[in-house]
Amino acid sequence: MSPHRLATATPWLLLSLGVALPLLVLAWRGLGDVAILPRVLDLAGVSLLLALLGSLLCLGVGGGLAWLAFRARLHSGWDALLLPAYLVPPFVGALGFLYALQLVGLQPYGVGGILLAWTAHYAPVAYLLLRPALESKLAPLLVACEVHGVTGWQRVRALVPPLFPALIAAFGALYLTLLGNFGVPAVLGLPAQVYTLPTLAYARLFSPASPDPLGEAAAIGLLLGLLAVPALLLSSQPSGEPSPRPLRPRLVWAARIGFGLFALAAVVFPLVGLLRRALFNTFTGEFQPAFATAWELPLVRQGLTNSVLLALLATGLLLLLGLLMAPQRRAMQRLRQVLDMHYLLPGTLLAVGLILLLAPTPLYATPWILLLAYLLNFAALMLRAIEAGLEAGIERLVGVGRLFGLRPGWAWWKIGFPLLRPYLAAGVFLVLPLCLAELTLSAMLYAPGSETLGVAVLSALNGGLFREAAAIGLMLMALSLLLLLVPRRGVVG
């Protein structure tokens, strides 16, 4: 390697090592406690099977909705029926399904409940990932099939193979998300003694009976990382936006009914469960809202303040980072590739790694360690949204402005940044609800005074305050749904 290339590569190598340091520390500590792994291999199998089944269900439901919308040429406004299911925090949705199914005499604890809540929350993600791929890959082929009279099995053979890369990428992204999900298994799995690796790591980390809580949690995190590594090769997300094509609408009513049924099942049904539990006394049936009681809990007031402040601060800092990096597209792409490890890998790894790394420092047991975790976890998502804008040709337009005599900074201020606004809004739309709903990092890194609303929900459930938990969940749902007011474009980065 030439001295120039070495000098260029060295800063990025050092940055990569710095960003990866929590994972490296976790791996080193976990290797010292690998003796625990044979005793948790059955739970690793449960996590693997649940993540695989959940990914297939989400892909089937979300992909089916994407196909119906594609064939019916549905306007993007119909997405508003799906997006609330994504915006509602997954553990709040799980709580809603728990209470709603109890109204009809069912107990959704265990594997079935976990898969139901996952499918309701993450099927819209599969839809958002696959709809652009259908438009860009299949629309021209479908026009050709209609022109040449290709029907039946021959049409299937022509249309399905081009979709394989998008399907595999979407499956990889869903698998990584579900493998590391903590909130839904904590709400619906733990009461039925169904453990996944994230909930097991949490239990071992806070177990007073464990001889080495940090070491055991690190070893479980290491195993979780090993299960995630193969999917990292599949997780690159398809990019692009739906664009109009000269296709005749088909299955219009089927698509509208499908979207409506999904909204009823994934949003309205759990919402009814939460409202019923929060507004009416469980034993007498009298109208007795639990919001005032919930608000009297100090943990709720503290959690609301911390959740909102952390979400706004993390999103604002990541927006600022994106704006600073946008004029340097290649550097931003490299930075995003470095940060992808924390976005793609389960949050349990980052949480345990930060505990091991920062426990001896003043950052530990403060809200600042949570802010650092949020920034590391969601930075790549914000940068992906901005990259999508740069790939749409904004850089070329800035270059045109410079040809007409504008200074670089002024050209970006007058041309580049205004054109990036929809993509910045898309970044906010992606990051802010995730920060508000984040539970894995919060549950493992919080300390007294730095609890979030998610932690307040879990604490209320553990304390038997089920009506108060429903009320807190509704508060968090209302906060998250406010994000529907954010103008958005190209939310798939």
DSSP H helical segments within 104-138, as ranges? 111-133
- Average pLDDT per block of 10 residues along the chain, 493 residues long: 54 73 87 84 91 95 91 83 86 90 88 94 90 74 64 66 80 90 90 89 82 86 87 58 60 90 93 92 85 87 88 92 82 82 85 89 88 92 80 67 65 70 80 84 85 86 86 84 61 40
Residue 492 lies in a domain: no
d(CA 130, CA 79): 13
Residue 224's contacts (CB-CB under 8 Å, 6 or more residues apart) are 47, 179, 180, 197, 198, 201, 346, 348, 349
Residue 76 lies in a domain: yes
236 CB-contact burial (10 Å; exposed 0-12 / middle 13-18 / buried 19+): middle
Contact 136, 243 (CB under 8 A): yes
Residue 72 lies in a domain: yes
For residue 241, what pLDDT is reported? 46
Q: What 3-state class would DSSP assign to 280?
A: strand
**DSSP letter string over 206-264?**
T-TT-SSHHHHHHHHHHHHHHHHHHHHTT-PPP-------S----SHHHHHHHHHHHHI
Contact 433, 378 (CB under 8 A): no
- For residue 199, give the nearest of 184, 219, 177 by alpha carbon: 184
Contact 23, 350 (CB under 8 A): yes
For residue 46, what pLDDT is reported? 92
Instruction: State the Cα angle at 277 between 271 and 281, rounded to 5°.
Output: 150
Residue 120 lies in a domain: yes
Q: What 3-state class would DSSP assign to 307?
A: helix
Q: How many CB atoms lie within 10 A of CB 157?
A: 10
Question: Could you identify the residue written with the tokens 């850089």?
Answer: 395
Question: Could you identify the residue written with the tokens 């099942």?
Answer: 265
Q: Give the CA diameter of the chain.
A: 79
- For residue 52, give the nearest of 215, 195, 179, 143 by alpha carbon: 179
CB < 8 Å & 24+ apart, contacts of 311-314: 311/374, 311/432, 311/435, 311/436, 312/432, 313/371, 314/371, 314/374, 314/375, 314/378, 314/431, 314/435
- For residue 412, give the nearest of 399, 425, 403 by alpha carbon: 399
For residue 341, what pLDDT is reported? 83
**DSSP letter string over 360-383?**
TSTTTTSHHHHHHHHHHHHHHHHH
For residue 380, what pLDDT is reported? 87
Residue 193 tokens, joined? 């003694």
- For residue 458, give the nearest of 479, 437, 430 by alpha carbon: 437
Residue 425 lies in a domain: yes
Q: How many domains does the chain have?
A: 1
Residue 23 lies in a domain: yes
Residue 84's contacts (CB-CB under 8 Å, 6 or more residues apart) are 263, 267, 481, 484
CATH number at residue 296: 1.10.3720.10
Give the length of the chain: 493
Residue 6 lies in a domain: no
For residue 238, what pLDDT is reported? 42
49 is in which domain, residue-wise? 15-485
Residue 433's contacts (CB-CB under 8 Å, 6 or more residues apart) are 86, 87, 89, 480, 483
Residue 98 tokens, joined? 């728990």
Residue 10 lies in a domain: no
Residue 191's contacts (CB-CB under 8 Å, 6 or more residues apart) are 109
- For residue 393, give the nearest of 428, 426, 419 by alpha carbon: 419
Residue 189 sits at φ, ψ, to 5 deg, of -100, -45
Q: What 3-state class would DSSP assign to 19?
A: helix
Task: Indicate the pTM of the whole model.
Answer: 0.87
Residue 405 tokens, joined? 């005599």
DSSP-derived letter for residue 189 is I
